[in-house]
Chain A
Amino acid sequence: MQSTRRVWLSQCAGIAALADIAAAQQHAHEAVRSSNPPAFQTFDAATAAEIDAITSQIIPSTDGPGAHEAGVVYFIDRALATFDEHLREAYRTGMGSVQQKRKEMFPSSAGIAALTSEQQIQLIHAIEARYSKTADFFELLRAHTLYGFLGNPSYGGNRDRVGWKLIGFEDRMAYEPPFGYYDAHPDGEAR
């Protein structure tokens, strides 16, 4: 409970279409479980490259696999084709605003992916700024990136469990105590 205190963006998106939600959810559930998805279902190649560039700064690949290697852009693409279909418009308008910001900041640039890493970082600082037009979209992008990096690999992200390996999550069905250092040393003499 407490860790979902924050109201999810996906739930703030309104009560869009009530009709056929149940059926759509079932369809979504089945669709996300299908193996070997087509390359992209929602994004065109250019948009995918732009989103890959941003999410690769959220979890960079500087010291081992990041969002790019985890396939986060594939996760987002499938999410928007399935359980988060209602957020497509948020992506369309959000990416539009991000591109506008990029043009303001780097007028001669061709796209986000074409920026230097340093420029991409500057751009993200600008789009995440509180009360900016793009702040909500950046939060959505961040949430999607983290679920794509650390969520169940069956949704197209977290390839080779690179996210789980990074944070030290073993993903087993069962464990035996002791689980950690302190329950292995309950008397605390080793502190």
Chain B
Amino acid sequence: MSGTAFRPSDAVDFLVIGAGAAGGVVAKELSTAGFRVVVLEQGPYLTEKDYTHDEIKYTYQPGLTNDPKVQPITYRKNQSEQAKPVKAIMYGRQVGGGSVHFTANYWRFHESDFDERSQFGNVPGADLADWPIKYADLEPYYTKAEYELGISGLGGANPFEAPRSKPYPLPPMPVKSSGVLFERAAKKLGLHPYPAPMAILSQPYQGRAACVHCGFCEYFGCEMRAKSSTLVSVIPIAEKTGRCEIRPNSYVRKIETDAHGRATGAVYFDANRREVFQRAKAVVLCANGVETARLLLLSKSKLFPQGLANSSGLVGTHLMWDNGGLAMGLFEHPLNEYKGIQVTRVIHDYYRADPKRGFYGGAGLDARFNYYPANFALQGMPPDAPKWGAEYKQLLRTYFTHTMTVLAHTSSLPQLRNSISLDPDLKDFWGLPATRVTFDQHPDDAATLKWALAKQVEILEAAGAKKIWTSGITMEDMLPSTHLMGTCRMGNDPKQSVVDRSNRSHDVPNLLIVDGSSFVTSARQQPTATIQALAYRAADYAVQAAKRGELG
């Protein structure tokens, strides 16, 4: 942490809201370009010294994620239902955001992800649309992200991947038993397994140590600084400029505007629940696919009666979900999957949507294990096994070390009716309206989940699993969503979108919005690489625009 501190009354060049996967990148880019930046982060400023292998803290309690006791969330499937308190969404809540506790999958989108509407046509009941940008527009920024953050992988190993200008900066992580079994089975089936691209260091990189394979990645912060979160990669660079202040425990309640409709800063609650107004010449909103929309809706004013940047009425709409079912397999010999990172092999053979299937959708599949001792015993056992007693105890002796998962990452169609809105009744700890999630799957999403699950099972069968079981794939089984996409979609038409092709708000010229909310379509999940590529690209645009005096 650096000692840079700006006065709230001092109008800094940029106010960044959210210090996560996108906000960390934006802060680094803007501060190294010479601008003065304040980053407001609602969560605390933790470091590797704060992290532990404590499952009770991080899987039982929301150690690094939003706590519904403080920030309640209500959920309903559709508008005719009364929303009830349910933790329907989950996001990282500290400096570094979700990049701290994520599994670290780092997939680029495919070229085909940017114009699926043109390829596939209209899907009844959905709002499938092309992105206003193409893969080629993002490619340099994917590369920049991979090099600045530190991504391990093997370029060219996935025959379906889009062209890349450079190989990964680091070789892939060592394969685990789940990866070996998955690769063997996939090849037998004529598929194309490849080493998972991961935001985890396989070798020392830029002053950080390599991964020691402790196995506590998903839900946990990395004690070795080997997971390439923004916390350990770009945020320290931003702070070193002396022009960037990361201000934790700062919960924004409103983005303010002047009489001309330009953003002037934001009002937030500090750690003592005192209200502070931080002035700024421009605002970059990076609060995630849910909180970004909520904050815009909270930022209503006379000039913006529907909420800020919402002349289209689309803020909060087209929320997309983190879809995917689990297939699990028990094997003869020990896999010891709790050792090492969660994922080492992936296939994209089923990625492209194919009209011949009779529904829209596609999936990426990975071989993984994302359980720890207690949550495995609680949730990882086959549904036909006893849930307690001597036999259950006996099964635990072998199942924990002999089990692996094939997980699907499946598409989620954008639909107008799936949304983030303000709950009319429930308030959070600060007295602000709670987040209300309205979401139900499109029939094609359900069909994709079912179709993918059969492929997952097929792989485990080909791998020689002694026993195979699967998770449920109903909407209830998909709660909570951790990949928060849509709600401020990008587009050229201000009536059909919230931000333009450079992530600038159509309505407020000095407000940029960049995070998962900008997504027009969901691709096949794993949004982090694209969130960060968009963040680099938006920051590039912001630097040029600010230098031309357009943002001040």
A and B physically associate: yes
A177 touches B174 (CB 8 A): yes
**A147 sits at the interface (CB 8 A):** yes
Contacts of A145 in B (CB 8 A): 388
**B354 sits at the interface (CB 8 A):** no
Q: Which of B368-414 contact A (CB under 8 A)?
A: 370-371, 373-380, 387-390, 392-394, 396-397, 399-401, 405, 407
A121 touches B426 (CB 8 A): no
Our pick among A128, A166, A175 for the contact of B397 (Cβ within 8 Å) is: A166
CA distance A179 to B333 in the complex (A): 12
A180 touches B322 (CB 8 A): no
Contacts of B326 in A (CB 8 A): 2
In the complex, how many residues of chain B place their beta carbon closer than 8 angstroms to a beta carbon of chain A?
82
Q: Is the interface of B mostly helix, strand, loop or mixed?
A: loop
B477 touches A4 (CB 8 A): no
A164 touches B373 (CB 8 A): yes
**A119 sits at the interface (CB 8 A):** no
A4 touches B214 (CB 8 A): no
B396 touches A166 (CB 8 A): yes
B61 touches A57 (CB 8 A): no
Contacts of A174 in B (CB 8 A): 212-214
**B184 sits at the interface (CB 8 A):** yes
Known contacts A5-B477, A124-B388, A175-B213, A168 near B334 by CB under 8 Å: yes
**B478 sits at the interface (CB 8 A):** yes
Our pick among B215, B340, B426, B464 for the contact of A191 (Cβ within 8 Å) is: B464
Chain A 1-34: CB-based contact to B (< 8 A → 1; otherwise 0)? 1111111101110111011011001000100000
Contacts of B175 in A (CB 8 A): 177, 183, 186
**A42 sits at the interface (CB 8 A):** no
CA distance A60 to B393 in the complex (A): 8
**B324 sits at the interface (CB 8 A):** yes
* Stretch from B85-93, B117-125, B238-246, B498-506 contacting the other chain: B85-93
**B29 sits at the interface (CB 8 A):** no
Chain A 153-179: CB-based contact to B (< 8 A → 1; otherwise 0)? 011000000011011111111111111
B68 touches A15 (CB 8 A): yes
A182 touches B426 (CB 8 A): no
B370 touches A180 (CB 8 A): no
**A66 sits at the interface (CB 8 A):** yes
Contacts of B335 in A (CB 8 A): 179-182
Contacts of B370 in A (CB 8 A): 1-3
CA distance A76 to B309 in the complex (A): 49
**A58 sits at the interface (CB 8 A):** yes
B478 touches A5 (CB 8 A): yes
Chain B 260-275: CB-based contact to A (< 8 A → 1; otherwise 0)? 0000000000000000
In the complex, how many residues of chain A place their beta carbon closer than 8 angstroms to a beta carbon of chain B?
66
Known contacts A167-B377, A167-B396, A21 near B67 by CB under 8 Å: yes
CA distance A60 to B376 in the complex (A): 18
Taking the closest CB of chain A, its distance from the CB of B370, in whole angstroms, is: 6
**A142 sits at the interface (CB 8 A):** yes
**A112 sits at the interface (CB 8 A):** no
CA distance A167 to B127 in the complex (A): 48
Chain A 61-91: CB-based contact to B (< 8 A → 1; otherwise 0)? 0110010000000000000000100100000
Interface centre among A1, A25, A62, A152, by most chain B C-beta atoms within 10 angstroms, is: A1
Interface centre among A86, A128, A145, A146, by most chain B C-beta atoms within 10 angstroms, is: A146
B333 touches A2 (CB 8 A): no
Our pick among A29, A151, A169 for the contact of B338 (Cβ within 8 Å) is: A169
Taking the closest CB of chain A, its distance from the CB of B78, in whole angstroms, is: 19
Query: What 6 pairs between A and B have smallest CB-CB spacing?
Result: A181-B333, A180-B177, A174-B212, A182-B177, A150-B373, A150-B374
List the interface of chain A (C-beta within 8 A of B): 1-8, 10-12, 14-16, 18-19, 21-22, 25, 29, 57-60, 62-63, 66, 83, 86, 121, 124, 128, 142-143, 145-147, 149-152, 154-155, 163-164, 166-183, 186, 188, 191
For the complex with contacts A5-B379, A7-B87, A168-B397, 20 further pairs of A-B residues with Cβ separation under 8 Å are A2-B326, A2-B370, A2-B407, A3-B370, A4-B480, A11-B87, A16-B69, A18-B429, A21-B70, A25-B67, A60-B393, A142-B378, A150-B377, A152-B54, A169-B373, A172-B214, A176-B213, A180-B336, A182-B333, A182-B335
List the interface of chain B (C-beta within 8 A of A): 52-57, 59-61, 67-70, 72, 85-87, 90, 103, 174-181, 184, 212-215, 218-219, 223, 322, 324, 326, 331, 333-340, 370-371, 373-380, 387-390, 392-394, 396-397, 399-401, 405, 407, 426-429, 464, 471, 477-480, 482
Q: Identify 10 residue pairs between A and B in the complex whose beta-carbon atoms are under 8 Å apart, listed by A's number.
A: A4-B379, A11-B69, A12-B85, A57-B389, A142-B387, A150-B55, A168-B334, A175-B340, A180-B337, A183-B176
